[in-house]
Chains A and B, each alone.
Chain A
Amino acid sequence: MSDSATQRRSVVVEREISHPPEKLWRALTQPHLIAEWLMKNDFQPVVGHSFNLSGDWGGVLDCKVLAIEPNKTLSYTWNFAHDDAAYNLQSVVTFTLTPTRAGTHLRMEQSGFRPDQKQAYGGAHAGWRQFFANLEQVLARTE
């Protein structure tokens, strides 16, 4: 399984938001608002600013602002360090806002590197539930 050691993957989640980009931008960049939907933080909208996102589960993510274009793009690193390398996650999260007639198209891409895919942080149960669903699908396809 040495090939998985260098695998880079990304996840994209998109949503149509019925609010204008300017308002969505505030929710993405003001610390007290970020805390309401994502995690507690000491974010500042300054390229190069290092900050932490603190999860309810006790984990702390190390982040650094990479790019900012007001009302359009926000990008920061999203790293989770763990003594066991298998739990590490080094990734970059990029939010892209595109105005639409009804509001904003929000696109989030997280691209990352994981030395091993043992377990995502705090997500063992979700992964486990998903496993059986995935298994059923794969089995259905192979039959």
Chain B
Amino acid sequence: MTNAHDMLFRTLADPTRRAIFERLCRQGEQTVGALTAQSGVSQPAVSKHLGVLRQAGLVRDRHQGRQTHYSAQLNALAPLLDWTSEMAGFWESRFDDLEDLLKRMDQ
């Protein structure tokens, strides 16, 4: 495991922080207020988690008026995405089609 892995896993090991990150991934950009309303923890706690996520490069903040909007940075997960696992899924599904074809060739 590289340092990049360690950093990402450490950052996402906290369930509350991970939940905040997941919400940003699924729902797009959010304000601290909106995130607090759904998280079940205080706004300072949410802000602290967002700070840690930002340090790890997992979220980006954008200031608009008095509000700060946070969004997920999926590129930060790049060290964890291995092309081989994606290709394995690709070939498994191609081989399903290959077997279907071989059955049809019988007829």
Contacts and interface: CB of A to CB of B under 8 A. Distances in A.
A19 B86 contact: no
Contact of B83 (A17, A117, A134, A138): A117
Contacts of B86: 120, 123, 126-127, 130
B76 to A, nearest CB: 11
A11 B87 contact: yes
Contact of B102 (A3, A4, A24, A124): A24
Given A118-B75, A126-B89, A37 B98 contact: yes
Contact of B78 (A11, A117, A142): A117
A4 B75 CA distance: 16
Given A110-B87, A120-B86, A123-B86, A27 B80 contact: no
Contacts of A3: 2
Interface string B15-33: 0000000100100000000
B62 interface: no
B81 A119 contact: yes
A106 B98 CA distance: 11
A14 B13 CA distance: 34
Contacts of B105: 19, 23, 26-27, 33
Interface string B33-64: 00000000000000000000000000000000
Interface in B76-107: 77-92, 94-95, 97-102, 105-106
Interface in A1-34: 1, 3-4, 9-11, 13, 15, 17, 19, 23-24, 26-27, 33
A19 B107 CA distance: 13
A13 B102 contact: no
Contacts of B81: 117-120, 127-128, 130-131
Contact of B101 (A10, A37, A116, A118): A37
Contacts of B98: 17, 27, 37-38
Contacts of A116: 78
18 contacts: A1-B4, A4-B2, A9-B83, A15-B95, A17-B98, A27-B101, A33-B101, A89-B83, A112-B83, A116-B78, A119-B78, A120-B86, A123-B83, A123-B89, A128-B74, A134-B85, A135-B80, A139-B9
